[in-house]
Structures are given as structure tokens and as C-alpha cells.
Structure 1
Amino acid sequence: MSVPTVSFSDLSKSSKKVAEVVERAQRVHVTRRDGEDLYLTTEHHDRQREETADVTARLFAALINNDEGARAVLLALPEVFPWTRHLSAEEVREFVVDLVDATRDAVELDVHSTLHRVVVEWRATARILADPDLAAQLTTPLPDEDHGEVFAP
């Protein structure tokens, strides 16, 4: 789907025209030179996106609550995330739980960064496991020497 684009200066100079574009397209990409780009959207469109996320999160959570649904999710996972083939069965189950929890956070708490982080972290784990030399290097036990306290980030 193509989203109309306007510059921030166009928005400030011709806000009424840009508002008309937003009403027609429901969403407009606003480019900025001095900061992160923005999106303008209608309230109706934003409510629909929230409802879509809510339905998706609830459906996903309901699916994994019974054996048949969980099996369907596990069978579909490699289609959506091909790199999961490098994870063990237990790691895949952990990933699914993390994914469902992060999806719920996106809906219930309006925190979307958790879902992104879960996917990025599990993909990085799969990348390590896909390389036998790297996996061996990173899973080799450390010497028994104490390197001091590890502080929380």
C-alpha cells in the first residue's frame, strides 16, 4: 500500500491541504531533515489499527492455549520466521511464548518495542546456532576464574 508523502515544511505551510490528504488516504508520511520522519493518521484509522492488533493478539494467544492450535502455530512458524529451523523444539516454544507476550504488550500497554526486540533477539540466537563454529565458541565454558561483579545494564 502506497502512503502519500509530504515534507515537514509542506505541513507547516499548507496544513489544511495536508489534512485533506490525510482524510483521503487515512495516513501520510511526513519527512523531516532534522529529525525522525513522522506519520499523520486519522483517529478512525488509528482505532482500526489498534483493533487489528488486539484481534491478532487475542487470536494468537487463544491458538496456543490448546494442543491443536499450538501445533498449527508451530507448523506455520517456519513460514513466517524461516530462521526458527535452527532453534531446538524447546527454544521454539520459548520463542512462541515470548512472541505472544510481546504481542499482548503491544495491545494492552501500547509498547511495540518489545515485539521488535523479541524477534531481533531470537533471530540473533538462530544466527549463532546456524554457525557451528560460532555456536561452539560461544557455548564453551569459561575458565573457573572470577572476573568480579557483573552490573545490571
Structure 2
Amino acid sequence: MSALELTLSELLNKPKATLANLRGTRRIVLRRRDDEDLVLTTAARADQDLEVMSATSRMFVEMMRTPKGRTLVLDMLPATFPWVRYLPAHDVRAFSVELVDALGAATLLDNTAGVAQLLAEWRHTAEVHADPELYAALTTDSGEDYGPVPEPGSAA
């Protein structure tokens, strides 16, 4: 189900009419001109979404505890995350283990940011493996050491 898209101004100018839209949709995306968009939903629906994510994560974690489950997960990863096709086999296994760990932690912490970060990192790793020139540039040791890298934000 797609979200209803409205502007933040519509909520501010017509709050009752805007919020009444939640009866007909799961969420409202409030578009903002100069900042990140917001999502409105009901607390009950947010709780339902969290419960579904938590149950799915727990099932996935338990599945990975068995040899059959690990095989099944490794077999279905390319359909779920097509970019894993570019990863070497040992990295696909490492990704599956890290994903299960991150999902378990996300469930306990009630915070999915770590899972999103992990997916982005592994997707970028796959992008490097998919590009032979980039892979060679990043893995070839030129023999030169340019010294320590300064902390972000510090003067170089």
C-alpha cells in the first residue's frame, strides 16, 4: 500500500482534515521543501510494523541456527539482494552471518539503523567487486605509504 503524500503546510493549515486521511491509508508522507520528509502513522500501526519486523527477524535468526536454514538463506540471498552475485562466496557467507547478527540486535534495540548501514556497506562492497578496474585500484598495493589519514573535520 502506498503512502498518501501531502505537504507539511497542509497539515499545519488543515490539521483535522489532514489527520483524517490516516483512516484510509497506513501512513502519510509529509513533503517538506527545505528538509527531510516526515512520515505520519498511528501508534497502533507503528506497533504492528515493529511486531512484524521483530517476528521476521527472530524467525530469520532461528533459521540460521540450523544447517538446513543456513543453506536455504545462502540460496535465497541472490533473489533478495541481487548484488550479492558480485561478492566472492566467502563474503556472501560473511554477509549472511553479519545480517543475522544485525537483525537480532535491531530487534533487541528497537532500532533498524544498524541493519540499514550493514546493507549499504555490503552493497558498496559488491559494487567494488562488480567493477574490475575499481577492484584493481583498491586492492593493488602500490608500495607507497602516504602516512596516517587525518580525522574527519581536522586540518590536514
TM interval, shorter chain, is 0.7 to 0.9
CA–CA distance in structure 2, aligned partners of residues 146 and 82 of structure 1: 36
Give how far 1:140 is off: 1.2
Counterparts of 1:1-153 in structure 2, within 5 Å, are: 1-143=1-143, 146-150=145-149
Letter in 2 for 1:148: G
Q: Given that residues 23 and 42 in structure 1 are in contact (C-alpha distance below 8 angstroms), is that contact kept between their aligned partners in structure 2?
A: no
What SS class does the counterpart of residue 28 from structure 2 fall into?
A: strand
% identity of equivalent residues: 39
Structure 1 residue matching 2:115: 3-state secondary structure? helix
Structure 2 CA distance for partners of 1:72 and 1:152, relative to 1, 3 Å: farther
Aligned-residue RMSD, C-alpha: 1.9
Structure 1 residues 146 and 139, CA gap change in structure 2 (3 angstroms)? closer
| Post-superposition CA distance 1:94-153 (Å, at most 9, x none) | 11122122223332223322222212211221121122232222211241x553334565
User: Which runs of structure 1 show a deviation greater than 6 angstroms over 4 or more consecutive aligned residues?
Assistant: none
- How many residues get paired? 152
For 1:132 and 1:17, the matched residues in 2 are separated by: 55
CA distance in 1, matches of 2:111, 2:50: 12
Cα distance in structure 2, aligned partners of 1:83 and 1:149: 32
Deviations 1:38-80 (A, max 9, x none): 1110111000000011011101111111100000000000111
Q: TM-score normalised to the size of structure 1? A: 0.88
Any unmatched runs of 5+ in structure 2?
Answer: none
